[in-house]
A and B are shown apart, each in its own frame.
Chain A
Amino acid sequence: MTLNEQQFIALLPILITGATTVVVMLAIAFARNHWWNATLTVAGLNLALASIILAARVAPQTVTPLLVIDGYSCFYMALILVITLACATLAHAYMEDFAGNREEIYLLLTLAASGAMVLVSSRHMASLFIGLELLSVPIYGMVAYTFRNHRSLEGGIKYMVLSAAASAFLLFGMALLYAHSGTLSFKGLSGQFHMAGLHSPLLVVGALMILIGLGFKLSFAPFHMWTPDVYEGAPAPVGAFLATASKTAVLAVLVRFLLEASAENELAMREAMGVIAFLSILVGNFLALTQTNIKRLLGYSSIAHLGYVLVAVVAANHLESEAVAMYLVTYIATTLGAFGVVALMSDAGRLHDADAIFNYRGLFWRRPYLTAVLTVMMLSLAGIPLTAGFIGKFYVIAAGVDAKLWWLLGALVVGSGVGLYYYLRVVVALYLPEPGMVQHDARLDWGQRAGGIMVLALAAVVLIVGIFPQPIIDLIRDAGITALHLS
């Protein structure tokens, strides 16, 4: 098996990200310097991001039976690199005062990013599994990175154990599919789903097991138990990565599997996903109601948001992949911004992050612009018009109305109503009179530092996408899944 030049170019983003990991590792071995190591990481990731332009020119390309670089994977690889860059920036601000070794977080971050990129370009169960593990294993380490804080350590172990269970489901599902069809490529399975339809229990159970395995990572409702604990325990920048990059990559590969393997033609799959979406929306929103910890709240809200996206997947109409991509873009920008503010307010030198809603009380009168950012993010999560969150929700509702999924839309309306309560509770706390004693605060010059600029830029993105979404819609429509035949 040889790579030709075009395939090599197509693979460049993944290769450069992998090389960055090695270079950063060597640099750390050579000299521990927080700023230099972080800068090296960011430079490598930017290079990888730039190489996507080259890759997109030669796309679509199948590289080995395992990977395909098409518009779809280029789009999601770009998203993942942007997320990783944002998280690296936040981590730099956050880790300044950390007592232990600060540099290895960049190593883990880039490693996880390359896993996520493999995942979004996989067209075969083997690469799906490799990508998923490459994504997950570094995250265990990152969640437990501030291990002197017992919550962080507990979160890391919890995530590892449950991920292992999810992987077991996934592998068992793949085995069942293989037992029935003798192939593991998505395209090959597609023929099987078309032929067998409802009559093959092996196929149906296998596909459902895969859904469960991926559902753990996406924290869909019956499999969501780990989410709040891990979100709470993880350092804020890692929480941001977990909530965005990991979700994006897994959802992207799930949609590709459903579309390319035609698994969504299977009625049982769609019904199962409908039930999962319904549960996720209600469970996520109702459990978020009583939270007083903003990271747990974001954890529960991410369960609900993934439920909303799944409505578009269940709709399975012409809007599906477009709606999923749009929702993910808006969700990523918003969640990164919200976690970003938490990260700017916290630093690793302290035992706890600034994660109680009480810590944010009266923030507006001290840090008006940072508060404006968090306000925009919360309104966007609540889906208020003129923020990106509304455009995402609009897409999902449009897909749902088109497919006449009234019961899911009913859950969405109820869930959004409930969601307003807890998002606005955070927002209103920001503007209440200040408490006498301030426990946490952002640095005075937060706006001039990389993390601060990044968060301000995210707020701008959320508003621009909310007010003028046409350019991003065009971009997403160009980045559809390209149907490629087995090579």
Chain B
Amino acid sequence: MILPWLILIPFIGGLLCWQGERFGLGVPRWVALFTMALVFVLSLILWSQGDYSLATLTQHGAAHWQSEFQVPWISRFGISFHLGLDGLSLLMVMLTGLLGVMAVICSWKEISDHIGFFHLNLLWSLGGVIGVFLALDMFLFFTFWELMLVPTYFLIALWGHNPPTGKGRIHAAMKFIIYTQTSGLILLLAILGLVFVHFQGTGQLSFDYGDLLGTKMSPHVEYMLMLGFFIAFAVKLPVVPFHSWLPDAHSLAPTAGSVDLAGLLLKTAGYGLLRFSLPFFPHASHEFAPIAMWLGVISIFYGAILAFAQTDIKRLIAYTSISHMGFVLIAIYAGTHIALQGAVLQMVAHGISAGALFILSGEIYERLKTRDMRQMSGLWSRFSYLPPLSMFFAVASLGLPGMGNFVGEFLILLGSFPVAPVVTVVAAGGLIMAAVYGLILIQRALHGPAHSPEKLKDLNMREIAMMLSLVAILLYLGLYPQSVLDTSSGAMAGVQHWYSTALSAPQNIAQ
């Protein structure tokens, strides 16, 4: 029974925030903080109680879920309200709870108008994300997939920034929602295609994950349906050439919106590929894998090169996200157990490091009123706490050993090498690019001559506490990743099992 509450709590909390505004401006903030903290604590309880070592998907028999919830919904189409939790979804829900708390805290001072409505949108978007991570019915999944976008649209369009030059926040929000919704409709077509193929084969109309798994179809149909799923996830991940919404949306969103986008929304795409695309269409995915991997390589380099050329600090971080997600894409299509584990760890670590960098750039913006790095230089002499923290997250993002990102990237490269040596070698070059843009961020913003010797208002206790907890988690992921790997191991073993049985070449069956 805990699963539906994980989704309901943010939705109810959002409504309370909206109505709570009339009792005082602080009320929505505290309600939102309490709500997300509750979600996070619930997910921690689930983590401590469950046993996530068993494989979620087995070749024979029903899928094994650590926790499950199912009630009939629209029986006409065999749709049920079916939620399920395994190690992968649990990690993602924990990440959502954590970043949700951070998103609420980081908007404490930044958002000053229409606070109640802001938190309504923030919490509903987070609720939608949790729904995506838990849904096991394709109709339900699609509902949440679309549902999380509308509040995010409002976050960008109403509380975003209007840059002095160029198109404004409404343009960015519109671009974001048109990209994601249109690709979402393609996903809906593919889902319905899969359902009707399954219906023709078995005479059973069902949207349930367990039923649709292992649907028999011709190679051509499988490939087309797989492409439908892939396009929707590729837009959200994003994969070059479907990425052009991302820099605008990330850079013009308010800080909480950027944290939500980079930390969570991008992860829903990786999750979707792992949970649905690979197990539903193993043969087609395998056939498509070289293309997907090379798209990943292109994303790595394209994101890195464009990040290097940015002057706006948030755009820089946005482009690094494209680069990092390229690694995740390679790992997912490599499909070995080690690579998949690396992908999960990379998603978690990137969520935290990118979220932290966006929060830091929000804090810099609050103090300097600019996000242009050309006007920043020499910040090291003007703050005492902010620069070292920025440096920590910048080097975490470039993959310094000791932080979670390094472990993720290392596992990805290690696991992908036996399957696709050329791709892996080329992708490894991306790490050098990461060092370049990471250091250029530090160099331009923190070092150099200061614009004025005057000290700026440093981070307060709230901000320092928030940042230090993220530092601690990132170090924990880097120094002792085993606990995360143990949690996702069962889920990834299942995915790897489904994917590898479709491979024909024996050397590809790693592990």
Q: Measuring CB to CB, which residues of chain A are less than 8 angstroms from any residue of chain B?
A: 364-365, 379, 384-386, 390, 394, 397-398, 401-402, 409, 412-414, 416-417, 420-421, 424-425, 428, 431-432, 468-470, 473-474, 477
| Interface SS majority for chain A | helix
- A402 nearest in chain B by CB position: B196
B16: CB under 8 A from chain A? no
- B175 nearest in chain A by CB position: A421
Q: How far is the CA of A402 from the CA of B200 in the complex (A)?
A: 10
Out of A409, A470, A473, name the residue touching B189 (CB < 8 Å): A409
Residues from chain B with a CB closer than 8 A to the CB of A398 are 77, 192, 196
Interface 9-mer from B145-153, B303-311, B476-484: B145-153
**In angstroms, how far is the closest chain B Cβ from the Cβ of A293?**
19
Residues from chain B with a CB closer than 8 A to the CB of A402 are 196
Q: How far is the CA of A365 from the CA of B76 in the complex (A)?
A: 41
Out of B76, B157, B173, name the residue touching A470 (CB < 8 Å): B76
B511: CB under 8 A from chain A? no
B213: CB under 8 A from chain A? no
Residues from chain B with a CB closer than 8 A to the CB of A431 are 117, 154, 157-158
Asked whether A384 lies within 8 Å of B76 as measured between CB atoms, the reply is no
B178: CB under 8 A from chain A? yes
CB under 8 Å from chain A, chain B span 347-364: none
Q: Mind listing 7 A-B residue pairs with CB under 8 Å?
A: A385-B144, A386-B143, A397-B189, A412-B185, A470-B73, A470-B74, A470-B76
Residues from chain A with a CB closer than 8 A to the CB of B181 are 416-417, 420
B8: CB under 8 A from chain A? no
Q: How large is the interface on B (under 10, 10 to 19, 20 to 34, 35 or more residues)?
A: 20 to 34
Sample of 13 further A-B pairs with CB below 8 A, known A401-B193, A417-B178, A477-B76: A397-B188, A398-B77, A401-B189, A409-B189, A412-B185, A416-B185, A421-B174, A424-B174, A424-B177, A425-B174, A431-B157, A432-B158, A474-B76
Residues from chain B with a CB closer than 8 A to the CB of A470 are 73-76
B428: CB under 8 A from chain A? no
Among B144, B174, B185, the one with the most A-chain Cβ atoms within 10 Å of its Cβ is B185
Asked whether B170 lies within 8 Å of A428 as measured between CB atoms, the reply is yes
Residues from chain A with a CB closer than 8 A to the CB of B170 are 428
Q: How far is the CA of A470 from the CA of B77 in the complex (A)?
A: 10
B182: CB under 8 A from chain A? yes
A402-B196, A421-B178, A428-B170 known; A413-B73 Cβ under 8 A: no
Asked whether B185 lies within 8 Å of A417 as measured between CB atoms, the reply is yes
Q: How far is the CA of A431 from the CA of B169 in the complex (A)?
A: 14
B503: CB under 8 A from chain A? no
Among A384, A421, A468, the one with the most B-chain Cβ atoms within 10 Å of its Cβ is A384
Asked whether B189 lies within 8 Å of A413 as measured between CB atoms, the reply is yes
Q: How far is the CA of A397 from the CA of B174 in the complex (A)?
A: 24
Residues from chain B with a CB closer than 8 A to the CB of A421 are 174, 178
Residues from chain A with a CB closer than 8 A to the CB of B77 are 398
Residues from chain B with a CB closer than 8 A to the CB of A394 are 139, 188
Q: How far is the CA of A71 from the CA of B502 in the complex (A)?
A: 51
Residues from chain A with a CB closer than 8 A to the CB of B139 are 394
B38: CB under 8 A from chain A? no
- A477 nearest in chain B by CB position: B76
A401-B192, A431-B154 known; A385-B186 Cβ under 8 A: no
**In angstroms, how far is the closest chain A Cβ from the Cβ of B8?**
13
Asked whether B186 lies within 8 Å of A424 as measured between CB atoms, the reply is no
B47: CB under 8 A from chain A? no
B142: CB under 8 A from chain A? yes
Out of B147, B182, B188, name the residue touching A386 (CB < 8 Å): B147
Out of B150, B174, B178, B192, name the residue touching A384 (CB < 8 Å): B150
Asked whether B158 lies within 8 Å of A385 as measured between CB atoms, the reply is no
Asked whether B157 lies within 8 Å of A428 as measured between CB atoms, the reply is yes
Q: How far is the CA of A385 from the CA of B76 in the complex (A)?
A: 17
Residues from chain A with a CB closer than 8 A to the CB of B182 are 413-414, 416-417, 420
Asked whether B185 lies within 8 Å of A420 as measured between CB atoms, the reply is no
**In angstroms, how far is the closest chain A Cβ from the Cβ of B156?**
10
Among A364, A425, A470, A474, the one with the most B-chain Cβ atoms within 10 Å of its Cβ is A470
A413-B185, A420-B177 known; A428-B158 Cβ under 8 A: yes
Residues from chain B with a CB closer than 8 A to the CB of A424 are 153, 157, 174, 177
Residues from chain B with a CB closer than 8 A to the CB of A473 are 74, 76
The 7 closest A-B pairs by CB, nearest first: A417-B182, A385-B143, A401-B192, A413-B185, A473-B76, A385-B146, A428-B157
Q: How far is the CA of A156 from the CA of B86 in the complex (A)?
A: 62
A401-B196, A428-B158, A470-B74 known; A413-B173 Cβ under 8 A: no
Q: How far is the CA of A414 from the CA of B177 in the complex (A)?
A: 13
- A431 nearest in chain B by CB position: B158
Residues from chain B with a CB closer than 8 A to the CB of A365 are 114
- A432 nearest in chain B by CB position: B158
CB under 8 Å from chain A, chain B span 177-201: 177-178, 181-182, 185-186, 188-189, 192-193, 196
- B224 nearest in chain A by CB position: A406
Out of A385, A412, A425, A469, name the residue touching B147 (CB < 8 Å): A385
- A414 nearest in chain B by CB position: B182
Give B462-502 as 1s and 0s: 1 = Cβ < 8 Å from A's Cβ atoms.
00000000000000000000000000000000000000000
Residues from chain B with a CB closer than 8 A to the CB of A397 are 185, 188-189, 192
- B18 nearest in chain A by CB position: A368
Q: How far is the CA of A417 from the CA of B232 in the complex (A)?
A: 13
Residues from chain B with a CB closer than 8 A to the CB of A401 are 189, 192-193, 196
Asked whether B185 lies within 8 Å of A385 as measured between CB atoms, the reply is no
Residues from chain A with a CB closer than 8 A to the CB of B75 are 470
Q: How far is the CA of A420 from the CA of B188 in the complex (A)?
A: 16
Q: How far is the CA of A353 from the CA of B120 in the complex (A)?
A: 32
- B113 nearest in chain A by CB position: A433
Q: How far is the CA of A413 from the CA of B316 in the complex (A)?
A: 32
Q: How far is the CA of A428 from the CA of B75 in the complex (A)?
A: 36
